[in-house]
């Protein structure tokens, strides 16, 4: 089980060290779950330091495909590796919606990150309109096959299924909807599959108990030590 916390554009560096200390203390004794946090770039160094000798991994929220170059505002794999960062999210729906990320650029970022030795959680998911139009599988097929063609079932790749209508909205996919989408994605690309979209301590057990759900990508509820730790504990209970 893998539980990843996406902090989005929250928590500045001075808040990060306190959060990491609190999380580490709170999770002492919890086993059977891989924990990842994804702070904003400016807080990565603060997160890497306290977790250096622990099992909590630190990922960025995005990464560019070039090692360096004239790409203002971007961050490269080498920059992340030099900081001691373990991996990166790629293709989060907020990047796709607001910053023009496409399946092709998601694949380029994923290939470069994996080749550089970073781990990757690549995000896919349909919008509300697409689900209502009966296009969920079509959308997922295009997104996942682009990744599968680019990298295949790489051992450092995980995919997060995040229905866009469930992200930050409080609307969660039912465990059945999550299972159905995950089984479909697994038929295209057999890597660990995380569910994301309003995961909270109250719904984590049911979602994580689905056979094709291997973990969760948690946004809002990962900003609080107590609720994030409770989700990690739910994952540990299910696989113990």
In this chain, which residue has its C-beta nearest to ligand PEP? 219
Residue 15, both tokens: 């808040």
Contact (Cβ atoms closer than 8 angstroms) between residue 220 and residue 199: no
E strand or H helix at 110, and its extent?
helix 103-116
> Which of 212, 229, 240 has the alpha carbon at shortest distance from 3?
229
Stretch that binds ligand PEP, among 40-48, 77-85, 127-135, 194-202 (CB under 6 A): 194-202
Contact (Cβ atoms closer than 8 angstroms) between residue 38 and residue 4: yes
Stretch that binds ligand PEP, among 71-79, 106-114, 145-153, 192-200 (CB under 6 A): 192-200
- Does residue 215 touch ligand PEP according to CB under 6 A? no
- Rounded to whole angstroms, how far apart are CA atoms 1 and 26? 18
Among 3, 6, 57, 113, binds ligand PEP (CB under 6 A): 6
Stretch that binds ligand PEP, among 24-32, 132-140, 162-170, 176-184 (CB under 6 A): 162-170
Helix axes 175-188, 136-151, angle to 10 degrees: 40
Taking the complex as a whole, the smallest distance from the CB of residue 207 to ligand PEP amounts, in Å, to 11
Among 157, 193, 220, 234, binds ligand PEP (CB under 6 A): 220
Instruction: Give the bridge partners for 89, in sequence order.
Output: 121
Q: Which residues bind ligand PEP (CB under 6 A)?
A: 6, 8, 162, 167-168, 196-199, 217-221
Residues annotated as catalytic (active site), given as ranges: 92, 162
């Amino acid at each position: 089980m893998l539980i990843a916390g996406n902090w989005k554009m929250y928590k500045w560096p001075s808040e990060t060290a306190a959060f990491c200390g609190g999380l580490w203390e709170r999770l002492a004794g919890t086993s059977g779950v891989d924990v990842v946090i994804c702070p904003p770039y400016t807080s990565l160094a603060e997160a890497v330091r306290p977790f250096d000798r622990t099992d909590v991994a630190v990922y960025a929220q995005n990464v560019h495909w070039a090692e360096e170059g004239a790409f203002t505002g971007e961050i490269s794999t080498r920059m992340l590796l030099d900081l001691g960062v373990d991996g990166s999210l790629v293709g989060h729906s907020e990047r796709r919606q607001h910053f023009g990320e496409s399946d092709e650029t998601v694949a380029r970022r994923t290939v470069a990150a994996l080749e550089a030795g970073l781990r990757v959680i690549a995000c896919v998911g349909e919008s509300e309109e697409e689900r209502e139009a009966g296009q969920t599988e079509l959308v997922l097929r295009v997104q996942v096959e682009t990744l599968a063609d680019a990298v295949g079932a790489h051992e450092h790749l995980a995919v997060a299924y995040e229905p866009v209508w469930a992200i930050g909205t409080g609307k969660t996919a039912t465990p059945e909807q999550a299972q159905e989408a995950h089984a479909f994605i697994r038929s295209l690309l057999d890597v660990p599959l995380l569910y994301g979209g309003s995961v909270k301590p109250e719904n984590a057990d049911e979602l994580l108990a689905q056979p094709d759900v291997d973990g969760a990508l948690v946004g809002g509820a990962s900003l609080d030590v107590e609720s994030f730790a409770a989700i990690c504990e739910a994952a540990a209970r299910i696989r113990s």
